[in-house]
């Protein structure tokens, strides 16, 4: 009987622990106390006869409970960090990204030790739960077996009936309904729904891919409106409108933007700003990159991979058709990157080919200032018009350390950053202090924006158009914002080249219009190509 009650408590704790942890981190109210599945599992096992098959079943059930608890925890993490539920039919590939993020933040040894601890804890939970759920062996002699076994079915039945009665009562009495939940059933039902939706998504997106696959192949005067200017599209990691609207972030970011605008004006450089709606939130930046390039809404990995496999043309192909050389500079890519080949770039620069000899700064492979300097060198070497897509990562979590801006002539191979290797909060401390995390987030964005605008001052000439866009908002538990609208700054020495952006709804200065509905990122490619193609139809109106 004691084993049965202990099994019930352990299953209840395993299934509800992820919700308890999430509620503690987000100050959620009405924390649930009982899992209806825990009563059904423990009570049901207590009603089984003492047979070999029932002991084997206990092991299966124990492993299943632990796996469900792990999936529930992952689901809670996804909701808090990416603003969406876990989708097991799409998201298992992220295990590798999580591993690399952990290595970048805490090092290989701590990551491996953490994995070992998780595996050990999971294995111990399975062992303990299987033992508790297995029917106790009968005692021999004097009829003690029947005597000892008698209370177990009654207790098991009581657990099941009592919990189910509370659950039914909770349907009509809200306070009770919030305390008695069925997390495993909810997770399984949601995953079944997502699986069906994913299958339907595959069919629907395949239809999207077949629509106008070479959309601008025969467009007269393709991109002639750029007059051969270089075009650089740069994404700032985790830069969303929350940086301009949240009082804590805005107190740091807005003065920086105003100062940068004044310097650019003094240098004869013009800037206009708008906003776009990103398809992703809290991470998975490549969805935003792919959406801008393709003109297709890429809100999940399935859509992204189908795009790559389809061979459909993108903005990279549009620039190549217009006589441009194309390049991508991605300092966060540390392994083989076949996606770049599928997207068709002429030149691919990743962390291994950027000649950086300075220190990695936890997850961040190199500071933004070095990446911008590298982009400047690439622009300085070209003899033909160049399209560059790049992504800056200093404002990527864990937002530590926040560096000063060095003299550009001192950067060299990046060794000058060695003295900042261990500055700032260690990530494993910063993650547990949300106030410090928010402070560092705002400061890291200010650094990334400052470097971007200083790059414009130093490297931008009459022949280059610079587009600096956020990729997505940071995680909701950092910003408190669910949407993913991102600012977009367009910078040039020739103000005339910015006129199409003003017609699209951007405005002069470094702040987007807060009253204007932001177009989606998948609208950018079509609008941009038509707006800068000299003989195209009339420029489209703002959506």
In the numeric block, the tokens 């549009």 are attached to 318
In the numeric block, the tokens 């000899």 are attached to 357
Query: Which tokens hold the place of 356?
Result: 């950086």
Of 86-95, 112-121, 136-145, give the range with the top mean pLDDT. Answer: 112-121
| Helix residue ranges, H only, 171-241 | 174-179, 183-210
Q: How confident is the model at residue 59 (pLDDT cuts 50, 70, 90)?
A: confident
Of 48-62, 165-179, 311-325, give the range with the top mean pLDDT. Answer: 311-325
Write a three-state SS string for 278-325.
CCCCCCCHHHHHHHHHHCCCCCCHHHHHHHHHHCCCCHHHHHHHCCCE
The kind and range of the H/E element at 44 are helix 36-46
Q: Kindly report the CA angle at 227 between 522 and 506, in degrees rounded to 5? A: 40
Mean pLDDT to the nearest integer, 156-160: 54
Q: Kindly report the CA angle at 256 between 254 and 260, in degrees rounded to 5? A: 115
In the numeric block, the tokens 């600096």 are attached to 468
Mean pLDDT to the nearest integer, 120-137: 79
Question: Are 88 and 71 a contacting pair, CB within 8 Å?
Answer: yes
Q: Kindly report the CA angle at 457 between 454 and 460, in degrees rounded to 5? A: 120
Lowest mean pLDDT among 47-61, 98-112, 318-332, 353-367: 98-112
Residue 404's contacts (CB-CB under 8 Å, 6 or more residues apart) are none
Q: Are strands 485-492 and 180-181 parallel, antiparallel or unpaired?
A: unpaired
In the chain, what percentage of residues exceed pLDDT 90?
Answer: 26
**Rg of the chain, C-alpha, whole Å:** 28
Whether the per-residue pLDDT at 150 is higher than 60: the answer is: no
Query: Which tokens hold the place of 281?
Result: 């939130």
Lowest mean pLDDT among 111-120, 128-137, 268-277, 356-365: 128-137
Query: What's the pLDDT at 426?
Result: 67
The more confident residue out of 201 and 161 is 201
Query: What's the pLDDT at 176?
Result: 54
For the chain, domain boundaries: 2-197, 227-486+520-531
Over residues 73-95, the pLDDT tens digits come to 888 777 766 666 777 766 776 67
Whether the per-residue pLDDT at 541 is higher than 60: the answer is: no
User: What is the number of alpha carbons within 13 Å of residue 171 lying toward its C-beta?
Assistant: 6
Euclidean distance between CA atoms 284 and 476, whole angstroms: 14
Whether the per-residue pLDDT at 538 is higher than 50: the answer is: no
Euclidean distance between CA atoms 238 and 130, whole angstroms: 44
Q: Give exposure, 25-50, as e/b (b: 16+ Cβ within 10 Å).
A: eeeeeeebebbbbbbbbbbbbbebee
Mean pLDDT to the nearest integer, 430-454: 85
Q: Kindly report the CA angle at 462 between 460 and 468, in degrees rounded to 5? A: 45
Q: How confident is the model at residue 144 (pLDDT cuts 50, 70, 90)?
A: very low
Q: Is 230 helix (H, G, I), strand (E, B) or coil?
A: strand
Mean pLDDT to the nearest integer, 3-24: 74
Over residues 390-426, the pLDDT tens digits come to 999 988 877 878 888 999 988 889 888 888 887 766 6
Whether the per-residue pLDDT at 301 is higher than 90: the answer is: no
Mean pLDDT to the nearest integer, 215-227: 79
Euclidean distance between CA atoms 229 and 461, whole angstroms: 10
pTM exceeding the 0.75 threshold for the entire prediction: no
The kind and range of the H/E element at 169 are helix 151-170
> Phi and psi at residue 392, in whole multiples of 5°?
-95, 140
Query: What's the pLDDT at 145?
Result: 45
Question: Are 469 and 289 a contacting pair, CB within 8 Å?
Answer: no
The more confident residue out of 506 and 440 is 506
Question: Are 220 and 207 a contacting pair, CB within 8 Å?
Answer: no
> Phi and psi at residue 370, in whole multiples of 5°?
-65, -45
Euclidean distance between CA atoms 61 and 417, whole angstroms: 53
Over residues 477-526, the pLDDT tens digits come to 777 777 788 999 999 999 999 999 999 989 999 999 888 888 999 999 98
Euclidean distance between CA atoms 295 and 527, whole angstroms: 9
User: Across the chain, what does the average pLDDT equal?
Assistant: 80
Question: Are 367 and 331 a contacting pair, CB within 8 Å?
Answer: no
CATH number for the domain running over 227-486+520-531: 3.40.720.10
Max Cα distance, the chain (Å): 100
Handedness of CA 429, 432, 437, 439 (dihedral sign): negative
Query: Which tokens hold the place of 476?
Result: 């909701």
Question: Angle formed by the axes of helices 285-294 and 524-531, to 10°?
Answer: 40
Over residues 231-281, the pLDDT tens digits come to 999 999 989 998 898 899 999 999 999 999 999 999 999 999 999 999 988
> Phi and psi at residue 347, in whole multiples of 5°?
-125, 135
Residue 97's contacts (CB-CB under 8 Å, 6 or more residues apart) are none
């Amino acid at each position: 009987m004691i084993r049965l009650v202990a099994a019930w408590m352990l299953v209840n704790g395993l299934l509800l622990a992820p919700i308890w942890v999430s509620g503690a981190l987000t100050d959620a109210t009405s924390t649930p106390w009982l899992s209806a599945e825990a009563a059904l599992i423990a009570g049901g096992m207590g009603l089984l006869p003492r047979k070999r098959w029932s002991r084997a079943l206990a092991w299966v059930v124990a492993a299943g409970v632990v796996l469900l608890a792990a999936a529930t925890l992952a689901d809670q993490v996804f909701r808090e960090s990416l603003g969406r539920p876990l989708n097991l039919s799409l998201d298992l590939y992220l295990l590798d990204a999580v591993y690399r993020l952990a290595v970048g933040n805490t090092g290989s040894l701590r990551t491996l030790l953490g994995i070992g601890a998780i595996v050990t804890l999971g294995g111990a939970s399975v062992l303990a739960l299987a033992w508790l759920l297995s029917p106790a062996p009968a005692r021999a002699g004097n009829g003690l077996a029947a005597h000892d076994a008698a209370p177990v079915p009654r207790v098991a039945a009581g657990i099941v009936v009592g919990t189910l009665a509370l659950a039914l009562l909770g349907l009509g009495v809200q306070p009770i309904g919030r305390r008695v939940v069925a997390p495993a059933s909810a997770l399984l039902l949601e995953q079944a729904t997502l699986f069906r939706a994913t299958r339907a998504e595959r069919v629907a997106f395949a239809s999207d891919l077949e629509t106008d696959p070479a959309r601008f192949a025969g467009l007269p005067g393709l991109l002639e409106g750029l007059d051969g200017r270089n075009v650089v599209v740069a994404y700032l990691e985790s830069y969303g409108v929350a940086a301009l609207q949240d009082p804590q972030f805005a107190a740091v970011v807005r003065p920086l933007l105003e100062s940068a605008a004044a310097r650019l004006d003094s240098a004869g450089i013009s800037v206009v700003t708008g906003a776009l709606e990103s398809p992703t939130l809290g991470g998975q930046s490549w969805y935003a990159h792919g959406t801008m390039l393709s003109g297709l809404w890429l809100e999940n990995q399935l859509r992204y991979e189908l795009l790559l496999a389809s061979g459909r043309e993108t903005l990279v192909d549009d620039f190549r058709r217009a006589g441009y050389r194309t390049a991508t500079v991605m300092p966060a890519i540390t392994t083989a990157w076949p996606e770049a080949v599928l997207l068709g770039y002429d030149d691919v620069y990743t962390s291994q080919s950027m000649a950086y000899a300075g220190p990695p700064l936890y997850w961040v492979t190199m500071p933004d200032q070095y990446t911008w300097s590298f982009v400047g060198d690439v622009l300085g070497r070209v003899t033909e018009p160049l399209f560059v897509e790049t992504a800056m990562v200093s404002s990527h979590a864990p937002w530590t350390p926040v560096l000063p801006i060095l003299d550009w002539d001192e950067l060299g191979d990046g060794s000058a950053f060695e003295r900042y290797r261990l500055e700032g909060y260690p990530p494993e401390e910063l993650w547990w202090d949300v106030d410090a995390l928010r402070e560092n987030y705002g400061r890291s964005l200010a650094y990334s924006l400052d470097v971007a605008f200083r790059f414009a001052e130093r490297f931008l000439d009459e022949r280059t158009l610079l587009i600096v866009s956020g990729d997505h908002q940071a995680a909701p538990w950092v910003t408190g914002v669910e949407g993913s609208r991102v600012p977009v700054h367009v910078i040039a020495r020739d103000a005339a080249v910015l006129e199409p952006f003003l017609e699209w709804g951007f405005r002069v200065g470094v702040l987007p219009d807060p009253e204007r509905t932001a177009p989606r990122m998948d609208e950018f490619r079509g609008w941009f190509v038509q707006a800068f193609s000299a003989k195209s139809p009339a420029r489209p109106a703002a959506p």
